[in-house]
Structure 1
């Protein structure tokens, strides 16, 4: 965010990403506060009649459904992403830090089995057995993302876990938390940030697709993905009921990814700037030592 405020080169990227993601996020967070009461007299697939975006397939005001439908998508995606990392981080860090092959195999091989199953197929298989409600969709999507996230954490942490500093901490009897999170975890933050932007986009896709297929969401729920699915039969009669929620989902996924990319670019510029300053200071100190 500092690049956006200080006028450094990342300002334009931040501004563009924020402009894209601000609208769907604002609607998701504050939309239900302004939704108002439904109109019981409205008819299906109509334009006008006091409804400036028309009505949907059962006669509900489209604008009201848009105000109500963003919060489930956003909260489910954020919860699923957080749950995936909450499980994947300790698994990946432990696999990278351990010197015991059996423990690493025990942690990673079951995830390889899940990784071999396509994410959407895994969600559909579990959903047919347990029939999850709206609250169960986030754990399902998280389950589909844990194997890939854990393997990424393990691969990113392997180099840092093999450094002499980690071996010295192990010999000194430091706790796993100090080694795994305090040192190795901090060394892979940029990798995790880059993955978070891509993973959040994938999670939003899975959440929207699951809702589109009716997994964990009622067919008449106020949900952007459900709106696209249920109103597509009247696309040429009432296009706004499909186009607007679809564009909001696209803006949310694209804007989130661009925002993470802008943050990473800004962080990289800051690191390069600090590196140049350190090298300049080193040359200055060497010159002073030479002439004294």
Structure 2
């Protein structure tokens, strides 16, 4: 299962990271003689509805998928981890509880609804897409970090450090941050699949990246009506996205099982 997970996640990742460099060497992305052409010389996977080489799209369309997913996750944890640690260390419990309840309001909002509202109000682009994806993940991350930091097993250690004169930031940010890092890493692996699914769904629905962007999900959206005329244009990016999500999810499960993090 570990080998299967590595293969499932490794192939899309290699294509996403090295594909733009391999495309010229493999002949992908060359000039197209027309749209919806079957596989042939110079276009081993045929062309899509816009006349683009499907092999070139497969090799170059994963870069935005990986970069946007990593960017949204980084933004989520850069905000969520310090905020969760601060709420766990707050002495005014009512203020901390009120802050958490305000964040929890985002949990009841469907993720795609937030993206649809942004698109409907004209707020499109990579910046808005990253901010929206990070925002809908923020409450769960803050709740996780706050719960892990406030574990009863940590109270004695925190009290000991406070009595020894350690500064507040070292106790509640540095040392407690190290304590919750294991839970955060496991959560990041699982949340990467959620963010990947959210961003891909947004691009597939046309509310994410611009339609001229070479992205696997955007390519799927542009070729939904061409399944029987040019199946590779739809199935190749779809299989790559499914492989990336399934492999990442399976790999996280295997890591959690081996490290005991799942329990």
Q: Using structure 2 for the length normalisation, give the TM-score.
A: 0.89
On the 8 A contact 2:15/2:62 being kept in 1, the answer is yes
Report the alpha carbon displacement of residue 129 of structure 1 after superposing the two structures with TM: 2.9
Considering only aligned residues, what root-mean-square deviation do their CA atoms show, in Å? 2.1
On the 8 A contact 2:85/2:149 being kept in 1, the answer is yes
Match of 1:67 in 2: 59
Match of 2:37 in 1: 46
- Is residue 197 of structure 2 the alignment partner of residue 205 of structure 1? yes
Match of 1:186 in 2: 178
- Is residue 17 of structure 2 the alignment partner of residue 29 of structure 1? yes
- Unmatched segments (≥5 aa) in structure 2: none
User: Which secondary structure state, in structure 1, belongs to the residue aligned with residue 253 of structure 2?
Assistant: helix
Match of 1:288 in 2: none
Find the aligned partners of 1:48 and 1:133 in 2 and give their Cα distance.
Answer: 34
Deviations 1:88-132 (A, max 9, x none): 111111111222124303531321222221111112223333522
Match of 2:99 in 1: 107
Which segment is superposed worse, 53-62 or 249-258? 249-258
Of 69, 73, 92, 1:81 maps to 73
Report the alpha carbon displacement of residue 267 of structure 1 after superposing the two structures with TM: 2.4
Structure 1 residues 174 and 128: CA distance shift in structure 2, 3 A? farther
Of 117, 121, 129, 1:125 maps to 117
Find the aligned partners of 1:95 and 1:61 in 2 and give their Cα distance.
Answer: 51
Find the aligned partners of 2:108 and 2:159 in 1 and give their Cα distance.
Answer: 34
Find the aligned partners of 1:121 and 1:134 in 2 and give their Cα distance.
Answer: 17
User: Which secondary structure state, in structure 2, belongs to the residue aligned with residue 188 of structure 1?
Assistant: helix
Report the alpha carbon displacement of residue 143 of structure 1 after superposing the two structures with TM: 1.1
Find the aligned partners of 1:181 and 1:25 in 2 and give their Cα distance.
Answer: 33
On the 8 A contact 1:97/1:161 being kept in 2, the answer is no
Find the aligned partners of 2:128 and 2:165 in 1 and give their Cα distance.
Answer: 41
Deviations 1:188-223 (A, max 9, x none): 333222211210000000110111122231113210
Structure 1 residues 133 and 268: CA distance shift in structure 2, 3 A? same
Find the aligned partners of 2:61 and 2:164 in 1 and give their Cα distance.
Answer: 53
- Unmatched segments (≥5 aa) in structure 1: 1-12, 270-292
Find the aligned partners of 1:103 and 1:159 in 2 and give their Cα distance.
Answer: 19
Report the alpha carbon displacement of residue 133 of structure 1 after superposing the two structures with TM: 1.3
Find the aligned partners of 2:162 and 2:120 in 1 and give their Cα distance.
Answer: 46
